Amino acid sequence: MDIDFSKVLRENMRDIMKQKGFTQQWLSVQTDIPDATISRYLTGVHNPKIEYVARMAAAMGVSVDYMLGLSTSSIPDQPPSPEIRALIAGYERADPHTKKMIWMQLDLVLTDEEKALAPRQSNEQKSEAV
């Protein structure tokens, strides 16, 4: 699967800026990257050097991995919450049928992007779950 990192970066930058209420001007001041250059990144006219991606990620309080679509966690080096750790532990102990049921429930709330990151059940798991 080929990932268009430039497109993912643009979309994630826009989403983060919108969610956090950041403007191009604010990001420009925080990163010392000209406002016009940030505009070109957001429109896809230019692609930023990794140094600039790192500056923008730091300014917006997210990880570079998140900006590039390589992580679902926007918080850099943030350990999972106790709730997430409990969910993981429960899932790992579950039998194949229960795991299938968990994925069926998650299917109702996951985005298409999150579903694409989810592991596919092997034929063996599918037959065990029936």
Q: Give the domains, in start order, of the chain with CATH numbers.
A: 5-67 (1.10.260.40), 82-129 (no CATH)
Task: Report how far residue 130's alpha carbon sits from residue 122's, in angstroms, rounded to the nearest whole number.
Answer: 13
**Amino acid making up residue 17:** M
pLDDT attached to residue 77: 64
If pLDDT is split at 50, 70 and 90, which confidence band does 96 have? very high
Q: Report the b/e string of 16-43 with b at 16+ CB within 10 A.
A: bbeeeebebebbbeebebeeebbeebbe
Judge whether residue 123 has pLDDT over 90: no
Whose CA is closest to 56, among 68, 44, 71, 45? Answer: 68
What are 16-73's pLDDT values in tens digits? 999 899 999 999 999 999 999 999 999 999 999 999 999 999 999 998 988 998 887 6
pTM above 0.85, yes or no: no
Confidence at residue 88, expressed as pLDDT on a 0 to 100 scale: 87
Task: Reply yes or no on whether the pLDDT at 124 is more than 60.
Answer: no
The pLDDT of residue 32 is 96
